[in-house]
Amino acid sequence: MDNKKSNTLRGLLFGAGFIAIAAFIFTGCPSQQRMLDTGDAAQKVYVAPGEHDEYYGFFSGGYSGQLSVWGLPSARFLKVIPVFSQDPETGYGYSEETKPLLKTSYGFIPWDDSHHPHISQTNGDADGRWIYINANNTPRIARIDLQTFETKEILELPNTGGNHASSFVTSNSEYVIGATRFSIPYEMDLDVPIDSYSDEFRGALSFIQLDPETGMMEMDFQILVPPYNYDLGRAGKGPSADWVFFTTYNTEEAHTLLEVNASRNDKDYVAAVNWKRAAELVRNGAGETMSAEYYHNYYEGNQGIAINDVKNQVTVLTPEDGQDFIYFLPTPKSPHGVDLDPTGEFIVAGGKLATVIPVHSFSRMLDAIENRRFEGHVENIPILDYDATIIGEVENPGLGPLHTEFDGRGYAYTSVYISSEIVKWSLETFEVVDRIDAYYSIGHLMITGGDTKNPDARYLVGLTKTAKDRYLPTGPKQNHPAQLYDISGDRMQLLLDFPTIGEPHYAQAIRADKVAPNVKQIYEMEENDHPHALRRVADNRIERDGDVVRVYMSSTRSHFRPDNIEGVRVGDTVYIHLTNLEQEWDVVHGIAIKGANNSEILVAPGQTKTIKWEPTRTGIYPFYCTAFCSALHQEMQGYIRVSAADSDVPLTWSTGGN
C-alpha cells in the first residue's frame, strides 16, 4: 500500500518534472529554434499542387549509394537516382545493360557509399549538364546525365583507399578530382606489414579530365603525396581557378587508433595544387607510367549495354624540387572541409578539433610562394608559413566546425558538428554575426546555387546526422534529417525539417530553369542503338544459340509481343530484350517472371532493357507488366512454358490469334 502510494507520488513528481523539462525544452530557448511565424514559414515553402519548385536539390545517399532528388523549397521528394547500389525498384544493377556499370577490378560490387554530388560548371557557374558523385568505399566517380537523370558512366580510381575528397569539378569542368582518404601502398596489390605505413604507404590525388562535349571522364594523372588522410577538396574560382585544394589530417601518419593518434599535431595541412601546372608537366613528359588495374564503365552510344573498358596503367607525378605545383598550408587542427568563397580569394578550412575557423588568403598564398616563405618541406612539397597565408581566424565558431558555404553577399555559413549549429560570419571582419541550431549534429550544409561564382543564396540546407525526436518515431534507427533555412535576410530562419534517404552528406541545389527545359520525356525510338532493340514490331522473335535463348519482345499498352512462348528448356539461359514501343512521356512498362532470381526491370518509353533468367524447374511461368500502365494493365501478361532439358518441344512464340 505504502509502496503504491509512494510510486504514485513518484510518478506525479516525475510527471511534473517531465512537464517542466518539456516546457523548458519547447519554450525555454525560443532564440535557438528561430522559426518564422508558422504561417509565414508554411507560405515560404508552399508550392501549390501542380506547380513546380524553384530549385532541384541533389542529396547524396551516403550508405544507400544513391543520389536523391528533391524540389526546393517545398522539399518534395522527386526521385532516387541509382548510382553505386543495385536498385530492384528500377532494375538498375540487375538488368544486363546496367550490371557492367557496377563492375570493378574487384569484381561486381552491388553497393557503395556516395558522398559529394557536384554539378558540372561553365565559367564558374553550375551548368546543369551532368552531376558527378563519388564512391567512398571502392573508389569510383560516377557521372549522371541530367537530361535523363540516369547514371551513364562510372570510373574506378586506382591506388586509392577511400575516395572521399571527391567529386568536385573545376570551374570550367576541365577536371573532376579524387583522393585517397586511407593511404595505402601505391604499388598494385603490395603485400606488406601494416606498420611499414610511413615507408610503404602513400596518398594519391587523382585528376580526371572531362570531355567538354560529353562529360566523359578519363584518368589523366595522379600526384603521389605523403601518407596522410586526404579528406575533402574544392576547386578554386576566378583568380584561383587553376588550383584545387585538399584538406589533410593524420599528418602524424598513424595507422591505428586514429581518433587519438591522428589528433596530436596542432596543425595539419591544406594541400594547394596548381592543376594546370601539373597537367603541363605531365604533357611535357614528367611523371611515370605505373601499372594499375581499374575499370571504366560507360555506354558507347545513345543507350545500349554498358561496357567495361579495363585500364592497366596510370600516369603518376611525384613532386620534385622546383616543380612548383603543390604546396602545404599549415591549418589547425585535423581540418575536414576546405571551401572557396565565390571570389576565389578565401580558402576556409573547417578544423574539427580547432577552436577557430582558419581563413587563408589565395593572394597571400601566391605572395608567400613568390617570396619562398617556407617553413620546410615534406617529400619535396614546400610547407608555407602559416602567418604568411592566414588572413583571419573566426573566433567562437562553436565546437567542431566542418564545412562552409557562401551567400555572395559577404557572408559565410559554417556547419558546426559538436555544438550542432550553423554560424554565419563576415568575410570582412571574420566575426560571427548569427547562429542557429541544427537538429542534430550537422555535417555538410549547402546553399542554393552554392559553390559557384554566383550563389543564388535564397535558402540553406543543413544535412544532419541524427533525427532522434524530430519526427514520429520509426524504431531505433531514424532516417537522417535535412533542414531548410531562409537566408535571404540578416538572420537565418528555420523553415522546414524533413527526413531524407540514406545518409545525405553533401548536396547541391541548382535553379530548376537550368535543368528542367533539357530533361528528356522519351527515348526516341529512331535513335535506339541498343544491339538487341526492336526496330519493327514485326521483328519480335526468339533465337536459340545452344543453351542461350534470346527473346526479342516489345511492350505497348497493354500487351507484350510475344506473350506465349514454348520450347524453353531447364538449363537454358534466357535473355528477354524488352523494347518499350511507347513514345509518350512517363508511360513505363516493366517485366517480372515468376521464380527469376533477379529483380523486375522497368523500361522507359523507347528504351530497351534485358532481364536474364535461368529457369531451373519445368512448368508454366507467368510474366507480367509491373508498372501500372493503362486501364488494361491487369491484362498485360504472358506465359512461358519450360520443358525438361532433353525435351524436343519446338521453340514457338505467338501473340493473339487464339
List residues binding another protein (CB under 8 A).
50, 522, 524-526, 535-538, 554, 556-559, 561, 581-584, 587, 606, 630-632, 656
Asked whether the CA dihedral 445, 450, 451, 453 is positive or negative, the reply is: negative
Residue 130 cell numbers, joined: 551532368
Question: In the structure grid, which three cell numbers stand for residue 327, read together?
Answer: 604546396
- SS3 letters for 499-537? ECCCCCCCEEEEEHHHCHHHCCCCCCHHHCCCCCCCCCH
State the minimum distance, in angstroms, from the CB of residue 556 to another protein. Answer: 5
3-state class of 112 per DSSP?
Answer: coil
Tally of CA atoms within 13 A in the half-sphere of 572 that contains its CB: 29
Angstrom distance (rounded) from CA 187 to CA 631: 60
Shortest Å distance, C-beta 626 to another protein: 19
Tell me whether residue 650 or residue 656 sits nearer to another protein (CB atom). Answer: 656
Q: Which is nearer to another protein, 288 or 527 (CB)?
A: 527
Least Å from the CB of residue 584 to another protein: 5
Question: CA-CA distance, 454 to 126, in Å (whole number)?
Answer: 9
Handedness of CA 236, 407, 403, 426 (dihedral sign): positive
Instruction: Specify the residue, 338 or 525, whose C-beta has the smaller distance to another protein.
Output: 525
Integer Cα distance of 354 and 393 in angstroms: 10
- In the complex, least distance from residue 581 CB atom to another protein, rounded to whole angstroms: 6
Measured torsion, CA atoms of residues 341, 346, 350, 354, in degrees rounded to the nearest 10: -150
The enclosing H or E element of 227 equals none
Question: What is the nearest approach in angstroms of another protein to the Cβ of residue 170?
Answer: 38
In whole angstroms, the minimum distance from the beta carbon of 607 to another protein comes to: 13
Q: Of 51 and 367, which has the nearer Cβ to another protein?
A: 51
Using the minimum distance from each CB to another protein, give the nearer residue, 137 or 583.
583
Note the Cα 25 to chain centre separation in Å: 35
Which of 505, 589 has the CB closer to another protein?
589
* Closer to another protein by Cβ: residue 125 or 582: 582
How near is the Cβ of 536 to another protein at its closest, in Å? Answer: 4
**Least CB distance from residue 96 to another protein, whole Å?**
23
348's CB contacts (< 8 A; 6+ apart) are 337, 338, 339, 340, 341, 357, 358, 359, 360, 404, 412, 414
Residue number with CB closer to another protein (262 or 636): 636
Q: Are 577 and 553 in contact (CB under 8 A)?
A: yes
CA-based nearest residue to 155, from 165, 134, 141, 169: 141
Q: What are phi and psi of 558, to 5 degrees?
A: -135, 65
Residue 189 CA to residue 65 CA, distance in Å, equals: 26
Identity of the residue, 136 or 580, whose beta carbon is nearer to another protein in the bound complex = 580
Q: How far is the CB of 633 from another protein (least distance, A)?
A: 11
* Residue spans of alpha helices (H) in 1-146: 2-23, 38-45
DSSP state of 170: P
Q: Report, in Å, the least distance between residue 49 CB and another protein.
A: 10
Rank residues 10 and 535 by Cβ distance to another protein and give the closer one: 535
The cell for 198 is: 610511413
Q: How far is the CB of 623 from another protein (least distance, A)?
A: 17
Alpha carbons within 13 A on the beta-carbon side of 189: 6
Burial class (CB in 10 A: 0-12, 13-18, 19+), 335: buried
Judged by beta carbon, residue 544 or residue 557, the one nearer another protein is 557
Identify which of residues 544 and 633 has a Cβ nearer to another protein in the complex: 633
Are 203 and 224 in contact by the 8 Å Cβ rule? The answer is: yes
Q: How far is the CB of 525 from another protein (least distance, A)?
A: 6
